[in-house]
Amino acid sequence: MLIVRRLLNRTVPHFYKIICKEQNYKRAEALRKMVEPNSRKNPEIMKLNTPEYKSIFTDELMLLVSLFKEYGYELRIAGGAVRDLLMGKKPKDLDFATTATPEQMKEMFSTEKIRTINEKGEKHGTITSRINDKENFEITTLRIDVLTDGRHAEVQFTTDWLLDANRRDLTVNSMFLGFDGTVYDYFHGYEDLQNRRVAFVGDAATRIQEDYLRILRYFRFYGRIAKEPNLHETKTLEAISSNVKGLERISGERIWVELKQILEGNYAGELTLTIMEMGIAPYIGLPSNPNTEELQRVWNKSKNNKLQAITLLSTLLKTQNDVLVLHSRLKLSAYERDLASFVVEHREPKINLKPLFPYQQLVVKSKGKTSDVIQWIIEVLKYNDSSYLEEFRKWQLPKFPVTGNMLKEKGIEGGRLMGLVLTELKNYWAENDFNVETEELLKQVPHVIDMLQTKRKCPKIS
């Protein structure tokens, strides 16, 4: 019996691996038959030899390339870097794809005494190597998506470049680049790039359902690539509008990363309006009836003012509660949350004979760091395309003439009470155009104390 058990322990895993390998092979073959009719027969379309291409070759990259070649694994640059090089731009980052499995890469790097870091990516097929303790390289095994839930994918490793290209989001992001300059383009991404066309690889709905964040990625890349703000293909918008509910599965942090880039990119106003027309608003923390009229009004007159992303997004909000709901969904930073709140509260014009005076007062009266408040006011002035924007930028807050030591001499103890007194004195100073002398301000202290006691903001003073 013991012999049988040992035999089973050895043979069952072996047969299981054989069965899995056979299933994987059949899955890949079936997928290839589906994909091939829509792909380019010869993916090698050109050779790059541009200054931007040549500039990527550091000593560390050359070492990496020679290492993969020595061990017999294919290695290519993948995705966005290829797109950028074809647009004449030097890429900020390089991503790599390879036929080597994670285990094969780890064994190779270990043999060559090259350190690997960030092991979290290994289950998705990504190994990060650090060469000469100088440069990191993120290298991912070619993959097929076996199972997706709209956020994450269960993957199967492959050596088929076509199948890996097929799982990528947009045609312009599905190209590879060899280290002899050969560009590999399976789904006509180069032609789309030349025509400034943004299209999903294969069926748009299928690509979106693999990861619903691709809805926002589509708009982000549209802003980067397209020549006009509203040349979307009808079938693409139909696929997006049919799948917007899937965005409720995506984390707010991931949504905000994409949305922020849209709001700071080309055609930000037009793209945001299209996004709202798709019905996306309630799934990303915006009101179900966003204030698109305000968005259009502000964009039409202030598009050249380089509004911060959250400032432009605030046009769609009507109330402070809208701000809190948005913050809860997108996990904004404290600065972004407070800026949105400030814009919603103060965007209405402030009529005064001295146009900047109400905003100068806000520098003193608003809660928050003075430097932050000044930036918030600048955003409000940009929001309204104010002719006084540059004048405010040049204005400097005068030095407040009362110090804590002066108040101590008046019998005011340090701590909460002194803070309250200083706040009231600053408000009085601001209301009087920042033009009150020290003596006059100190004369206000008894009145301030009486007022605070009346309001019960501080303990009774003996």
Q: What is the pLDDT of residue 15?
A: 45
Instruction: Convert the pLDDT of each residue in 77-110 to its tens digit.
Output: 999 999 999 999 999 999 999 999 999 999 999 9
Q: What's the whole-model pTM score?
A: 0.86
pLDDT tier for residue 10 given thresholds of 50, 70 and 90: low
Name the residue with higher pLDDT: 419 or 160: 160
Of 200, 188, 197, 193, nearest in space to 45 by CA: 188
pLDDT at 459 exceeding the cut of 60: no
Name the residue with higher pLDDT: 28 or 2: 28
Q: What is the pLDDT of residue 358?
A: 94
Residue 46, number of CB atoms within 10 A of its CB: 12
- Mean pLDDT calculated for residue range 62-66: 97
Task: For each of the domains in the chain, give its residue range(s) and CATH number, in order of start.
Answer: 21-194 (3.30.460.10), 210-394 (1.10.3090.10), 404-455 (no CATH)
Bridge partners of 76, per DSSP, are 97
Q: What is the pLDDT of residue 316?
A: 98
pLDDT at 22 exceeding the cut of 90: no
Q: What is the pLDDT of residue 2?
A: 62
- pLDDT above 70 covers a percentage of the chain that reads 91
Instruction: Convert the pLDDT of each residue in 210-264 to its tens digit.
Output: 999 999 999 999 999 999 999 999 999 999 999 999 999 999 999 999 999 999 9
Instruction: Convert the pLDDT of each residue in 399-414 to its tens digit.
Output: 999 898 998 888 888 7
Q: What is the pLDDT of residue 147?
A: 65
pLDDT at 456 exceeding the cut of 70: no
pLDDT at 115 exceeding the cut of 50: yes
Alpha-carbon span 21 to 15, nearest angstrom: 10
Q: What is the pLDDT of residue 390?
A: 97
Alpha-carbon span 300 to 421, nearest angstrom: 44
pLDDT at 25 exceeding the cut of 70: no
Q: What is the pLDDT of residue 62?
A: 97
Q: What is the pLDDT of residue 8?
A: 54
Alpha-carbon span 324 to 328, nearest angstrom: 6
**Least confident interval from 30-34, 131-135, 157-161, 363-367:** 30-34
Burial class (CB in 10 A: 0-12, 13-18, 19+), 156: buried
3-state SS track over the chain: CHHHHHHHHHHHHHHHHHHHHHHHHHHHHHHHHHHHHHCCCCCEEEECCCHHHHCCCCHHHHHHHHHHHHHCCCEEEECHHHHHHHCCCCCCCCEEEECCCHHHHHHHHHHCCCEEECHHHHHHCEEEEEECCCEEEEEEECEEEEEECECCEEEEECCCHHHHHHCCCEHHHCCEECCCCEEECCCCHHHHHHCCCCCECCCHHHHHHHECCHHHHHHHHHHHHCCCCCCCCHHHHHHHHCCHHHHHHCCHHHHHHHHHHHHCCCCHHHHHHHHHHCCCHHHCCCCCCCCHHHHHHHHHHHHHHCCCHHHHHHHHCCCHHHHHHHHHHHCCCHHHHHHHHHHHHHCCCCCCCCCCHHHHHHHHHCCCCHHHHHHHHHHHHHHCCCCCHHHHHHCCCCCCCCCHHHHHHCCCCCCHHHHHHHHHHHHHHHHCCCCCCHHHHHHCHHHHHHHHHHHCCCCCCC
Of 298, 302, 331, nearest in space to 317 by CA: 298
The C-alpha R_g of the chain, in whole angstroms, comes to 30
Name the residue with higher pLDDT: 260 or 38: 260
pLDDT at 160 exceeding the cut of 80: yes
Mean of all residue pLDDT scores within the chain: 91
Instruction: Convert the pLDDT of each residue in 353-382 to its tens digit.
Output: 999 999 999 999 898 899 999 999 999 999
- pLDDT above 90 covers a percentage of the chain that reads 74
Instruction: Convert the pLDDT of each residue in 280-307 to its tens digit.
Output: 999 999 999 999 999 999 999 999 999 9
pLDDT tier for residue 23 given thresholds of 50, 70 and 90: low
pLDDT tier for residue 417 given thresholds of 50, 70 and 90: confident
